Amino acid sequence: MKFGLKAICLAGVLVTTAVYASTTLSPNQINNSGSIPSGHADLKFVLSNGNWVKNIYLPNTANHQDKITIQSSAGWKSYLDTSNTNLPIEVLEIQSGDTFQFVYDANLKKWVTQLAAISPTTNAQFEEIALNNTKLQRILLADGKWAKTIALPSNVNDGTLVQITSTATYPSEISKTNLLFPSSFNLTQGSEYWLKYNAALQKWVPEFIKPVKINVKDIGASLTTVTAPVTEINFADANWVPNFTLPTTANDRDRIWIKSTATWSAKINNTNISSDATLTLKKGDQYEFMFVSDKGHWVLMSAPTKVIEANGSIASVLPNMTEPTLKVRISNTNWRQTINLPTSARVGDKVILSSTADTDSFVLATNGLSTTIKNGENRRFIFTSQGWTIDSHTIDMLFVNSPEVTAIIGESAAKLRLIEGLNLTNVTAENSSAKFYLRQTGYITYKMPASTLLDAIYVGRSDTTVQNERKRVLADGVYYQGNEPGAGGCGWAWINASYYNMIGANDIAGCSVAAMRHEVGHNLGIYHNDSTNIGSGFAHPLGSTALGGNNLNFYSSPYLYNPKYGVRLGEEGKKDAVSVINATAVRISQYH
């Protein structure tokens, strides 16, 4: 009977295997597409020369435990969108010889990469883990496969991504010798890290850190010790304290998230924090702090913002500050002739007003501040020991669009492209606490009489059509969007511009909309990252500022940090674009 039962079960397994035998597909079989179809329990997607696609996408839905294997022998690289996988990177590069396997987890609603586990072998106090040459690897610590301290090697390929987890009874740690920052990389049961090797830095860079979650009722009004790179403090009903204080110290770049679902608000004390601004924790709020060891304090990395929308009601006196920033959007719907800034605030609090209303509003404060906000303007105010003060200057721009651009992408798209560039410039200025916002005061379609883009910023300074329109709309400067060859660059601008030289330009062929913040940065006195001038950009393999590689929404400053990696985005006395911008913005805003 036992043998018969086993035989029946085995037959069932064989039948099941036959039904769900692996299916092989390639791009050519699905209309040269990289969108892998769903509905296969075990699918192999194969790339080869002549049967290749650049971008690959896994199905958004599948049955639990469905499996997809991707193999490539193609000479060209492909890129897998990882947004619906457990990989903490945006894309996975696939090249000849690579094989990756994913299994769908219906509970997570994600494709989970399948990795063979490498573990310590000696139960020693210290062991360097021997990794291989594959892109994705996993290190598992477990009882009997454990070391007090594990070290990651440096003789691996650039971009190697490793998942580190632990199920071991005893705690351990990752050696800090070749990590990006010496944070609290401890390993306990349930720990999970993903680190990526960056050959340029010769460092392992954290891409994902599973936070250690703590209920505030279990620790009371303060956290005394940090034991992980990311600690999440949770507030909720029946899990609440009225005040909370961060630790006096931690390891470099350790982070603390503070979240709340509680009905009652709480206060985060400013003790040990670089900011004196209002830090009220309300339902739905999340704050993030990062410890910077050479400064000896926690830096506020992100905070909730209170927003009064364009269709919301604006009181004659704005509400007292509950978060570090209050944004008010003024429209014809909620326009007020006079807007009074909050009567209660802390040093460092900011109010940002933006207006699309046809009529100006007066802005007043109890300390005597009086100004206006006009249509299309953004105005920022900061609370100081003397009360509210103006924290931004408006630089009015005339946009000049070449008819060649209109012929290529259409008039609406051409206008939208300039508006997107302006908005991104303003976001970058705001993120950086740079004291300016751009405002569009004019737009014309006009071909600069120039053969190259560089010529355009020469002739545009005295071109009658451009300068007459500039004077008519009272613009401080000119920005040209063309299709001329760049003459060595996709954008050009005069550095530290005088009234005569206040012009920048970019072409649509080689430049993204981020070019405007770069070129306007030049106008405001900023040099490229390779300059020794204090007002220069900052370049780094993990992200660069607007005058560096131009892939982060910041201008350089020693007081700013890469939001994901914690790298300081400047150097005091050497790379500080924001200090230069803040010194020049008021002068340039008066050119009209």
Is-contact 44 25, C-beta < 8 A? yes
Calpha distance 549→536 (Å, rounded): 12
Please determine, for residue 579, whether its predicted confidence score (pLDDT) is greater than 50. Answer: yes
State mean pLDDT over 261-287: 97
Instruction: Give the pairing of strands 338-340 and 325-330.
Output: unpaired
- Check whether 35 has a pLDDT greater than 50: yes
Neighbouring C-beta atoms of residue 580, cutoff 10 Å:
22
Is it the case that residue 453 has pLDDT exceeding 70?
A: yes
Instruction: Tell me the per-residue pLDDT of 65-79, one tens digit each, with 9 for 90 and over.
Output: 999 999 999 999 999
- Cα separation of 266 and 115, whole Å? 43
Q: DSSP letters along 535-571, please?
A: SB----TT---TTTTS-SS----TT-B-TTT--BSSB
Q: Looking at residue 487, what is its pLDDT?
A: 72
pLDDT at 5 over 50: no
Strand partners, 70: 45, 100
Note whether residue 365 is domain-resident. yes
Supply the DSSP string of 43-77, one letter for each residue.
EEEEEBTTB--SEEE--S---TT-EEEEEE--SS-
Q: Is the residue at 569 inside a domain?
A: yes
pLDDT at position 348 is 98
**Residue 17 pLDDT class (50, 70, 90 cuts):** very low
Average pLDDT over residues 527-546: 97
Q: Are residues 376 and 334 in the same domain?
A: yes
- Whether residue 435 is found in the same domain as residue 458: yes
168, amino acid identity: A
Contact residues for 114 (Cβ-Cβ < 8 A; gap 6+): 101, 102, 103
574 and 495 in one domain?
A: yes
Is residue 85 in some structural domain? yes
Give the rounded distance of the alpha carbon of 335 from its chain centre: 33
Residue 12 in this model has a pLDDT that exceeds 80? no
What is the predicted pLDDT for the residue at 11?
31
Q: Which pLDDT belongs to residue 489?
A: 80
pLDDT score for 486: 73
Please report whether residue 7 resides in a domain: no
Q: Decide which of 349 and 122 is more confident.
A: 349
pLDDT in tens, 224-244: 999 999 999 999 999 999 999
Classify 406 as helix, strand or coil: helix
The number of domains in the chain is 5
Q: Which of 528, 489, 487 is nearest to 510 (CA)?
A: 489
Tell me if residue 336 falls in helix, strand or coil.
coil
Which residue, of 302, 317, 347, is where some domain finishes?
302
Neighbouring-strand partners of residue 85: 111
Residue 430 pLDDT level (bands cut at 50, 70, 90) = very high
Cα–Cα distances in Å, from 371 out to 377, 425, 489? 12, 23, 40
* pLDDT 10s digits, 155-186: 999 999 999 999 999 999 999 999 999 999 99
Residue 320 sits in a domain whose CATH number is: 2.60.120.1230
Judged against a pLDDT cut of 90, whether residue 15 lies above it is answered with no
**Beta strand 305-308 pairing with 297-302:** unpaired
C-alpha distances in Å from residue 276, one per residue of 269, 379, 404? 9, 22, 51
Q: What is the distance, to the nearest Å, from the Cα of residue 246 to the centroid of all Cα atoms in its chain?
A: 25
Residue with tokens 């953004």: 378
Residue 406's pLDDT is 97
Rounded mean pLDDT, 531-539: 97
Whether residue 541 sits in one domain with residue 448: yes
- In angstroms, the CA 110 to CA 454 distance is 49
Do 335 and 311 contact (CB within 8 A), yes or no? no
In angstroms, rounded to a whole number, what is the distance separating the alpha carbons of residues 220 and 217? 5
How much is the pLDDT for 488? 76
161 within some domain: yes
For residues 541 and 528, membership in a common domain is answered with yes
Residues 408 and 384 in one domain: no
Write down the pLDDT at residue 16: 32
Q: In terms of Cα–Cα distance, which of 151, 18, 44 is closest to 99?
A: 44
Q: What's the whole-number mean pLDDT along residues 330-345?
A: 97
3-state SS of 487-532 is CCCCEEECCCCCCCCCEEEEECCCCCCCHHHHHHHHHCCCECCCCC
In which band, very low, low, confident or very high, does the pLDDT at 204 lie, cut at 50, 70 and 90? very high
Q: How far is CA 324 from CA 246, 320, 349, in A?
A: 17, 11, 5
The one-letter amino acid code at 127 reads E
By residue range, what is the domain housing residue 525? 394-589
CB burial class (10 A; 0-12, 13-18, 19+) of residue 569? buried
Please, which residues have CB within 8 angstroms of residue 119's CB and are 6 or more apart in sequence?
139, 140, 141, 142, 145, 146
**Span 373-411, pLDDT tens digits:** 999 999 999 999 999 999 999 999 999 999 999 999 999
Q: Are residues 553 and 495 in the same domain?
A: yes
**Residue % of the chain over a pLDDT of 70:** 96
Residues 353 and 407 occupy one common structural domain: no
Residue type, position 111, single letter: W
> Mean pLDDT of all residues in the chain?
94
Instruction: Assess whether pLDDT exceeds 70 at residue 10.
Output: no
Separation CA 373–CA 379 (nearest Å): 7
Which residue, of 88, 114, 140, is where some domain finishes?
114
What does the pLDDT average to over 485-489? 77
pLDDT above 70: residue 1: no
**Residue 406 domain-assigned (yes or no):** yes
pLDDT of residue 510: 82
pLDDT, residue 20, reads 44
In a domain, 18, yes or no: no
- Asked whether residue 3 is domain-assigned, the answer is no
Per-residue confidence (pLDDT) for residue 122, from 0 to 100: 83
Residues 188 and 283 in one domain: no
